[in-house]
Structure 1
Amino acid sequence: YAQMHIAGFCLNCPESPDTVMTDLREIGPTYYFGPPRVYENILTQVMIRIEDAGWIKRRMFHTFMAVAKRVGMGILEGKPGIPLRDRLLYRLGEILVYGPLKNVLGMSRIRVAYTGGEAIGPDLFDFYRSIGINLKQLYGMTETCVTVCMHPSGDVKLETVGPPMPGVEVRIADSGEVLVRSPGLMKEYYKRPDATREAIDPEGFFHTGDAGYFDAGGHLKIIDRAKDVGKLADGTLFAPKYLENKLKFFPHIKEAVCFGQGRDEVCAFINIDMAAIGNWAERRNLPYTGYADLASQPAVLDLIRECVENANRDLAQDSTLANSQIRRFLVLHKELEADDGELTRTRKVRRRHIADKYAVLVDALYSDKTSCFVETQMRFEDGRTGTVSADLQIVEAKTFGAAAARKAA
């Protein structure tokens, strides 16, 4: 709020989460801040509309998006060495695809956009920057006077939150937790000395509760909440939130929950995006009666398997996380809901609660079973409770070695 008084701008807020795209088009902001969930939802809507378009528009979109992915970020950052042919193709793509797309999204006037609040998938980040939207990540919290790290112009890395801001000290504890000390750090929690002692150590460093590490260029990479980060049985780093974000980049996947702490491999629960998958099914004349029926369709399971395998292909290229590729998964018979205690009110996964509630499914994933029957109590919109049951199929996903992943990419 201080920025609008110092720099001079009009602050606008969306009417509701459902009207974000309409409000963006109406306002046409030059400066935009939103959590990753908003950017995910916008991308999902874009992909649904593209799949509904004629084959000429679809072909044109995918052709120019390939160009954007190859050279878009370099052009946005003004980097030299980009061939003239690619620059001309990108310029043509700006006229035919990127410009109209940004106009429809209400983002054609944006000079800089920020995201924060939780980790954003690098693929999602790449999409916006490649079409010319100057999206950056920032990392901070209320206790640190918000900003700890931020991407500087010309030095944006997809999987990091940038280097520390001037005057901010960031240290990585032996446990992997990110510690912060700065002039803007809070003095204490109001009338909570015990909480203050837990949060701020004797050296004056604030314990953020996030796990991360610095890359070779001095950028901080946040991988998950420290309490959620663990290791597989072979010692491989297991960062469930990072893996879940990889999966949620795909418009057909609305939510994902990964398991693997202390186990030999990673397995996952997946929620399909009803709007995206429903639209996909209708275009293929696949009949269905509701969410559970659609989620159990063999064609849908094959589609989700392709998404999981594409995520595995990317993970194979990360030496730290290559062994945490997803081996088996199932598509849940119901959407995860805050009313059922499976999500927080801010739509964050309650992973431990889900693991306890669906323990029979977790056990099935780590057995040799190919299916598992489950019956679950759920709360309906009118307040009534009932049960929903299904025989869920367990799907094997292909994993990749580093060499195979590079060849496929």
Structure 2
Amino acid sequence: MGVARCWGEPILNGRADVPLHGRLLYALGEALIYGPVKNVLGFSRIKVAYTAGEAIGPDLFAFYRSIGVNLKQFYGQTEAFLYISTQPDGQIRSDTVGPAAPGVEIRIVESGEVQFRSPGQFVEYLGDPVRTAETLTPDGFVRTGDAGFIGQDGHLRIIDRAKDVGRLTDGTLFAPKYIENKLKFFPNIKEAVAFGDGRDFVAAFINIDLTALGNWAERNGVSYGSYQELAALPQVYDIIRGHIRQVNRDLAAEPAMAGAAITRFVILHKELDADDGELTRTRKVRRAFVQEKYAGLVATLYENARECFVSTEVTFEDGRKGRIEATLTLAEVDDRGPHPHQRETLAA
């Protein structure tokens, strides 16, 4: 797949600077590998494909484009009739939903909400004037309920539901789902919960992926007896720290999110579970519940503590209740000592 990763995207974008040997190697790969793969997936005749809704990982997005599937992202909703923004050929990025579609106006209001106005937008909710008034602004824009920002490239980036977006104490935009999704794009991270609204910096809970890191442990001769033991290993903390640093670099490249870098994190001793009320049945984090259930651990993350003892009630498969206890390591993302606010707290 190295040839596909190297030349697939440039060839798909119609770039003229792809060398002859790159085109020949890719053509061979198309005949022997990429074509048969697309045939098995039912993608052989696809001219263009779109993804919308929940973000997909950049690796998966790049994979489809590398084998010649012209996959793009767009953003839309029923009230827009179809789409609000879409990616034109040659401007495909995994982290955006493209610039505004022709004839569509997009603006970002002070709260961070994305609003649009277009010739094809809805007129009203039938028989529901109250909801119509809540959705339409006096000047004719539609309130989407989503938060986002427009980058210097003119592309719209959706970061979260507007109601879930907060601010750090210095006014920096804090979009927990946006940060959590970036973390979960790494195969070693199964779940993440970010905290930061009304606080001085961003901190995160991490659930490791037992299968991915279990395979790593086996390949490297690292022994462990349980999820809890694997999650506590210093080597695992180093791996997760590396992933978080990459997320922080990505955030730093986005002016609207540059100040929301993760400062501290903890790898939880148990997987978040729907049976324990921490996830919905569709595996979405119940962030408010998690924050309340682990209030002591969250508070300790914002102090200068290096460890925190936790005792957590769990529900077993047969319905019985039990408790899991552990002393968790609270880690800095960068080895530069405590965050400035932590130093102030310590000095006080």
Compared with structure 1, are the counterparts of its residues 141 and 338 closer, same or farther at alpha carbon in structure 2 (3 Å cutoff)? farther
Within 5 Å, give how 1:7-406 maps onto structure 2: 64=2, 68-91=4-27, 94=30, 98=34, 107=43, 110-122=46-58, 124-189=60-125, 192-398=128-334
Compared with structure 1, are the counterparts of its residues 337 and 192 closer, same or farther at alpha carbon in structure 2 (3 Å cutoff)? farther
Look up the equivalent residue of 2:334 and give its one-letter code. Answer: K
Aligned-partner SS, 2:259:
helix
Contact 2:149/2:256 (8 A) holds in 1? no
Look up the equivalent residue of 1:257 and give its one-letter code. Answer: V
CA distance in 2 between counterparts of 1:392 and 1:379 reads 20
CA distance in 1 between counterparts of 2:103 and 2:179 reads 32
Compared with structure 1, are the counterparts of its residues 99 and 203 closer, same or farther at alpha carbon in structure 2 (3 Å cutoff)? same
Compared with structure 1, are the counterparts of its residues 194 and 94 closer, same or farther at alpha carbon in structure 2 (3 Å cutoff)? same
CA distance in 2 between counterparts of 1:134 and 1:242 reads 25
CA distance in 1 between counterparts of 2:304 and 2:32 reads 50
Q: CA deviation at 1:111?
A: 3.6
Compared with structure 1, are the counterparts of its residues 341 and 363 closer, same or farther at alpha carbon in structure 2 (3 Å cutoff)? same
Q: Which structure carries more helix by proportion?
A: 1
CA distance in 2 between counterparts of 1:70 and 1:243 reads 28
* 2:339 aligned residue: none
Q: Which runs of 5+ in 1 are unaligned?
A: 1-60, 401-409
* 1:56 aligned residue: none
Look up the equivalent residue of 2:266 and give its one-letter code. Answer: L
Q: Which runs of 5+ in 2 are unaligned?
A: 337-348
CA distance in 2 between counterparts of 1:382 and 1:206 reads 48
1:300-319 alpha-carbon deviations (Å, 9 max, x no partner): 22222222223233333334
CA distance in 2 between counterparts of 1:73 and 1:263 reads 41
Compared with structure 1, are the counterparts of its residues 318 and 170 closer, same or farther at alpha carbon in structure 2 (3 Å cutoff)? closer
Look up the equivalent residue of 1:77 and give its one-letter code. Answer: N
Contact 1:119/1:223 (8 A) holds in 2? no
Contact 1:327/1:399 (8 A) holds in 2? no
Aligned-partner SS, 2:274:
coil
Look up the equivalent residue of 1:173 and give its one-letter code. Answer: V
Contact 1:251/1:273 (8 A) holds in 2? yes
1:95-137 alpha-carbon deviations (Å, 9 max, x no partner): 6765566567665554433222133454553343234332211
CA distance in 1 between counterparts of 2:226 and 2:40 reads 30
Aligned-partner SS, 1:255:
strand
Compared with structure 1, are the counterparts of its residues 393 and 154 closer, same or farther at alpha carbon in structure 2 (3 Å cutoff)? same
Aligned-partner SS, 1:234:
coil
CA distance in 1 between counterparts of 2:139 and 2:217 reads 58
Contact 1:230/1:239 (8 A) holds in 2? yes
CA distance in 2 between counterparts of 1:186 and 1:268 reads 40
Q: CA deviation at 1:178?
A: 0.9
Compared with structure 1, are the counterparts of its residues 299 and 217 closer, same or farther at alpha carbon in structure 2 (3 Å cutoff)? closer
Could you state the TM-score of these two structures normalised by the residue count of structure 2? Answer: 0.82
Compared with structure 1, are the counterparts of its residues 318 and 124 closer, same or farther at alpha carbon in structure 2 (3 Å cutoff)? farther
1:188-215 alpha-carbon deviations (Å, 9 max, x no partner): 4465443332222233322111112233
1:47-102 alpha-carbon deviations (Å, 9 max, x no partner): xxxxxxxxxxxxxx5xx1xx544543222111222334444454555567655665
Aligned-partner SS, 1:221:
strand
Q: CA deviation at 1:269?
A: 0.9
Higher RCO structure, 1 or 2 (CA under 8 Å, sep 6+): 1
Identity in percent: 59
Q: CA deviation at 1:385?
A: 3.3
Q: CA deviation at 1:144?
A: 3.1
